[in-house]
Each structure stands twice: as structure tokens, then as C-alpha cells.
Structure 1
Amino acid sequence: MRPSRALIDLDALRHNYFLARHLHGGRALAVVKANAYGHGALECARALAADADGFAVAFLEEALELRAAGIEQPILLLEGIFMPDELDEVIRHDLWIVVHHAEQIRIIDHAKPALPLEVWLKMNSGMNRAGFLPHELRAAWQRLKDSGKVGGITLMSHFARADEPHVIATAEQVTAFDSATRDLPGPRSLANSGAILGWPAAHRDWARPGILLYGADPMPGEPNGLRPVMTLESAVIAIREIPAGAPLGYGARFHAERATRVGLVALGYADGYPRALPDGTPVAVDGIRTRLIGRVSMDLLTVDLTDLPDAGLGSRVELWGANIPVNRIAEAVNTISYELLCNVKRVRFEYSGG
């Protein structure tokens, strides 16, 4: 069996959820959209089911998978509904919906739901992506109340730069939200992962932890106490010696500076490890840091074993996890940990702490 695998530590997931809820106060929706950021939505939701106040997903199909698996907690659709017939499923499965544009209110106006809808009304406080503008929010709220088809309304917004603690944009968004929602009743939700960790002034009734649940700190370098949930690993499957000056791999990008002991590892970009990673990217072999050498190919990559005499066939190779932060790998290819974690595929997933 090919040795590449993603090890998912569900104890770490629970630790991160409890930490987020403790830091924020109030209640917390565990965001498990996009297959729990690549970690397995069903397994992660089951692991949190006994403790989570609720879950958030992107759209209806993701919620229905959780309900079919027996998840009974509240589930919020962050994108809301797209078509009128989705409201029947929302009611049938007791789902909550975000309303962020006028067409969604029109759908509710023309619907005849058997039960009142639970709505999260989204304001555009400065991200300028989704949500009602501040001067539109009160009228949207009133339309929902006047429809007679809505029960509770939670007021929410989303931050564009909460992971930048020295940028004032988040404080400005909080001010805009508070000003526009003043005197409107109902619970509030502002804090995503970055705001949970770095913006106490944004803490309200509900938190929405996403990436921090999976231990990829949105504020790298801060001692936030998160534990990585995924370890992406494989093993050395062959070893060769190349002389100084010899090329290695596609495009001969790497040339050995000295006689080099090369370990061939069964993992590549088809598994989600980026092709664009440069020579020198850290990897850990049997827990000891060394480096990537040569271009990552579809199924294989190569690492430097020259200074690791005890490493050999079968040695464990960690691409990210406890020894190699996924944020470090993301930085090396000018992206974010979210993208790397969501792109893991083809490897075997193994869960512990369930």
C-alpha cells in the first residue's frame, strides 16, 4: 500500500474548538464547509457533535450530508439559498440561513414555509463582497419581520483583514456594524478565526471559528495554543547517491552542491503538495528537519538525506504537521494554508481520537 496519508487528530480538533469558544465567550458555530477545510466534514462534525453549539457550511448540499449522517445541532448555510425550492429542504431539515441580498428576501416573501425561518442577516461592513450596505440593513431587517415567515434574526458581518492585527480595517468594520445595527434587537455574530484570536472588541454572541479549528493559525507567530489537526506524510521508498554537480528531477532545477544522498518520497502535486515549492522547503524525516530538493512531480518528490545517516527505506516523511507548520509551506508558494488543506486528495485519510 502506498505510504502517503493524511493523519487527522480529532482530539486536536476538539481542543481548538474549546479554545476558540473560551477565548470568544458566548456560543460558537464550527465551520465545516469545503469538507471541513479538507479534513473530512462528516468525521469532524461527528467528533464535535457532543460539544459544538452548531455548525456552519457553505450551501444546502453540504448541510444535507451532515443531517444524513445524524448531525442534529443547528447548521447555518453561509451562502443562504439560491432557489425558492430550497426553502422546503431548509424547513424539512431545520436549517438556518444567511440572507445577504434582496433576491433572497423576495424568495422568502413569496414562500409559504410551514415553520418560521431562522435567519442570519448579513451586513456589508466594509469587505464589499456580500451583504446589505449599512443604509440598507434596517429596511432589510424590517422586510424580514414584516413577512411573518421569520422567527429569530441574528445580525452578522464578515471581516476582510482580521488576520492583520496592526491594520485598522477590522476596527472600522466593527464601528460600522455597531452604528448600523444600533437599536435592532437580536444576537450578533462578527468574529471569524482571526477576530476570535486578535480582536476582542469584535466578540459578540456567536463566534464562527473556521481555519483555527484545524490548527492553521491565522496569525502565525502568535502563541495562540492551537494544535495542528492534519499531518500530511509519506515515506522514503528509494535512496540514491548523486555526485557534486549532478542534476536532479524535472527541469534539472537542483544541482547538488556536494555528494548528496537523495531520498525518493511517494507523494506529489497530484496529492496536493504544491509543484511550485522551491528547493530548501523544510520537510521532516523521522522527526528531523531537512529540505526538499528537486522539483515536485505528480507522484513523487525528493529530499536531502545527506546529513541524516539513520534515515533509510521506510523513514517517515512529514510534509506538514507538528514539525512543519502548514503556514510555512503556504508562504513558500505565496498562498494560504486554507488552499493547501482543501487541496489534499488521493492520499489515505486516517483518523485518531474519534
Structure 2
Amino acid sequence: MTTRTSEAKPASGRAHPGPRLIVSLAAVQRNYARLQALAPDAQVGAVVKANAYALGATEVVPALARVGCRHFYTAHTAEGVEARDALDGHAAEIYVFNGFWPAELPALRGAQLIPVVNTLAQLDSLRQDAPDLPCAIHLDTGMNRLGLDSAEIETLIANPSRLDGLDVRQIMSHLACGDDPDHPQNAQQLARFARIRAAFPEIPASLANSAGVLLGPDYHFDVLRPGLALYGGNPAPGHDTPVEPVVRVDAPILQIRELRAGDTLGYGATWQADRPMRIATVAAGYADGLLWASSGGGAGYIGATRTPILGRVSMDLIAVDLSAVDHAVEAGDCVSFLGAHLDEIAQAAGTISYEFLVRLGIRFDRVYQRD
């Protein structure tokens, strides 16, 4: 994998010799500004776990810091360390969702990370082993995944002195159904979290992920934690989104073939031509994160023209239908994937745009656009 900053050629132009992952850092920054405009009374943070959803934390983190982001969220301590290094001196708080482990104290302290406490036992361990370390507290309001459970929440509300002497930077929870604005559990979780927040009004509160931002100001509290929306995905499919695409894959055409009616294509001979047709074989596949499950669905694009994926996606190759392309195409031209069609190709693969992003492979030539 190579990483560079460059102006990517248009999707319909001649390709780089290998597939390229083109990330617009300027689009990430504009998406951040759009989300901040939706929540003027809150601070917008950024979830940068999983290498900033595979787009490259070392590039995304400083780009967001340059436009004022001061809260970053990772899953693991090692990701937090990488984010701190990438900040290159910008002041910011970096949170580690997966909690506090005494063995990680040197790394947490060294990178000035903030562990998110998920149980009262973790809180007691923090008090004993690292009372100097800032923390956040995750309070489960209905996800039933991480965080203090309902009994522990009631214990903490009844005994707020358990926080005495600790530097608690945030209390937080996570929406289970924010991607479905009409789901009744959203209002239930909001009510539970508002009650907890009322017990600790002096501590900044954070509930909304990307989808929660779009649910409106009742869900915003003090700090927002968008991830997918920053990277161009729609957190509530089927509903309008204010964000723009951030990432696309440009894959060069290796060969163009003319098929006859009855010809099969690809592994398993799962697809058969019903007429004479022209197809292109492009240099990208599931090793690059263009999922095997996209076989027989989804599409690439040449300019604005949709080129459906035919047959099975291979490790390194994808075949697309050129029937709708009304101009000459030859080896070396680009077929583009993702971009404005991220949600489309994810749905065709029977998955979500989150998974499609984080599975993008490491062998792309990565191009970062700053303007």
C-alpha cells in the first residue's frame, strides 16, 4: 500500500496501474461542518476507530483537528495512541470505548488517553490504580452491549460520592435504533439518559452517534459522536442525509471481452449471457474489500453510467457490464465503485455501509485530496 496526497483524475479518466482508494479529506471536513451546523449548541466529536473506518486515521484525525474537532473516539488503546501521534500537537481529548485495563496504564498515560469505564468494578479499579487518570462513564440505556447496567446505574445515582476525586470528562450512552427515526426505543433511551444526566448535571453528556445527530436537538446534549456520517455514509438509509461522499475506488480495466449468448462468466459459472454483450474485467476484488457478497448485484460506474457487476467477485477481479456505456472504453480506463453509491453497493451485498468501509483493503494506492 502506498499513501500520498494528490489530485485524483476523474472517474472516467485513464487509471493508475493499480486500484486506487481516493479519499477527500476536504469532504470529511465539510461533513464535519454540516453536522456542527445541525447542532450549534453542542460540540461535534469524531469516531475514528478501525483506522477511521479504514480511510486512514493518520490522515483523517489531523484533517478534523484543523477544522476544530477536539473530541476523538477509538475502540482500543492502540488506536488511541495512533490518534494522539497523528494530532501532531493539536489539543484534543481521545476516548477509548473498550474500557480500562490496568496493564494498559502506561500507554493510556503516555498518550493522555481517556478510558471509558463500563462497569462499577472498572470504576473501583480506576480509583485504586489510577485516580489521576481522566475517564468517561458509559451508561447502558438499552443497547445491552457495554456500559453500566440498570442496577449499577441506580447504585451510582444513589451514591454519587463514588465519583469523588475522579476526573470524569463525559457520561455517555449509545442508541440502538437511531438509524430508524420512528423506532420507539429512541425515545425510551432518550428518557433514560436524560434522567441520568439530571443526576450528574455538571458532567458533559454524550448520546448521539451519526444517526442520533439527525434525530434532532433533544438527542444532542453536549458532545456528538458521529462516525459514518463524517465519511459520507447515510446513517439512516431511506432518509435524507446532509453529508457528501468522501471515498471512491477507481479500478483500471484490464481487458474487454465480447461474450456470445450462452457464455458463462466467472467462478461457478453462476452467470450466463442472454445476448451478445461487451464486458470489462477490472483490477479489484474482495481482497480489496469489494465484497464477494456483491456478486450478482451492485455496480461500478464509468462517469455517470452504471455498469452492473456480473458473476462472482473474485479475489482480484470484477467483471462489469458495458452495455449501457455509449462511448469507446479501453483497457486502462477507470471503473469507479462507492462514492455516491456506497449505500447502494452495500445493500446489494446484503450488508451496511459501515462494514463496506471498514473492509476496504490495504493494497490500494491511497490518494488523499485536501482541496
TM-score, length-normalised on structure 2?
0.88
- Equivalent-residue separation in structure 1 for 2:244 and 2:358 (angstroms): 18
Determine helix, strand or coil for the equivalent of 1:276: helix
Q: CA deviation at 1:67?
A: 2.0
Please tell me whether the aligned partners of residues 287 and 318 of structure 1 are also in contact (alpha carbons under 8 angstroms): no
- Matched residue count: 349
Tell me which residue corresponds to 2:111: 93
Tell me which residue corresponds to 2:179: 163
Runs of at least 5 residues in structure 1 that lack an aligned partner in the other structure: none
Q: CA deviation at 1:279?
A: 2.4
Please tell me whether the aligned partners of residues 123 and 156 of structure 1 are also in contact (alpha carbons under 8 angstroms): yes
Cα gap change, 1:105 to 1:280, in 2 (>3 Å): closer
Relative contact order: is structure 1 or structure 2 higher (C-alpha 8 Å, sep ≥ 6)?
2
Query: Aligned partner of 1:265: which letter?
Result: V
Q: Deviations over 1:277-325 (max 9, x none)?
A: 2425222023321211121111111111133242222221011113xx2
- Equivalent-residue separation in structure 2 for 1:206 and 1:92 (angstroms): 25
Tell me which residue corresponds to 1:33: 49
Match among 296, 303, 308 for residue 320 of structure 2: 303
Where do 1:201-280 residues align within 5 Å?
201-280=218-297
- Equivalent-residue separation in structure 2 for 1:112 and 1:326 (angstroms): 43
Tell me which residue corresponds to 2:168: 152
- Equivalent-residue separation in structure 2 for 1:93 and 1:303 (angstroms): 47
Runs of at least 5 residues in structure 2 that lack an aligned partner in the other structure: 1-15
Tell me which residue corresponds to 1:5: 20
Match among 80, 85, 93 for residue 74 of structure 1: 93
Cα gap change, 1:66 to 1:112, in 2 (>3 Å): closer
Cα gap change, 1:339 to 1:280, in 2 (>3 Å): closer
Determine helix, strand or coil for the equivalent of 1:150: coil
Question: Percent of counterpart pairs with the same letter?
Answer: 35
Q: Deviations over 1:216-237 (max 9, x none)?
A: 0111233322111110120211
Cα gap change, 1:153 to 1:266, in 2 (>3 Å): closer
Q: CA deviation at 1:102?
A: 2.5
Tell me which residue corresponds to 1:285: 302
Q: Deviations over 1:227-248 (max 9, x none)?
A: 1111012021111111111111
> 2:129 matched to 1:108?
no
Q: CA deviation at 1:91?
A: 3.0
- Equivalent-residue separation in structure 2 for 1:142 and 1:151 (angstroms): 19
Please tell me whether the aligned partners of residues 59 and 78 of structure 1 are also in contact (alpha carbons under 8 angstroms): yes
Structure 1 consecutive aligned stretches of length 4 or more whose deviation exceeds 6 Å? 141-144
- Equivalent-residue separation in structure 2 for 1:89 and 1:320 (angstroms): 36
TM-score, length-normalised on structure 1?
0.92
Please tell me whether the aligned partners of residues 163 and 198 of structure 1 are also in contact (alpha carbons under 8 angstroms): no
- Equivalent-residue separation in structure 2 for 1:177 and 1:148 (angstroms): 21
> 2:370 matched to 1:328?
no
Tell me which residue corresponds to 1:122: 138
Tell me which residue corresponds to 2:337: 319
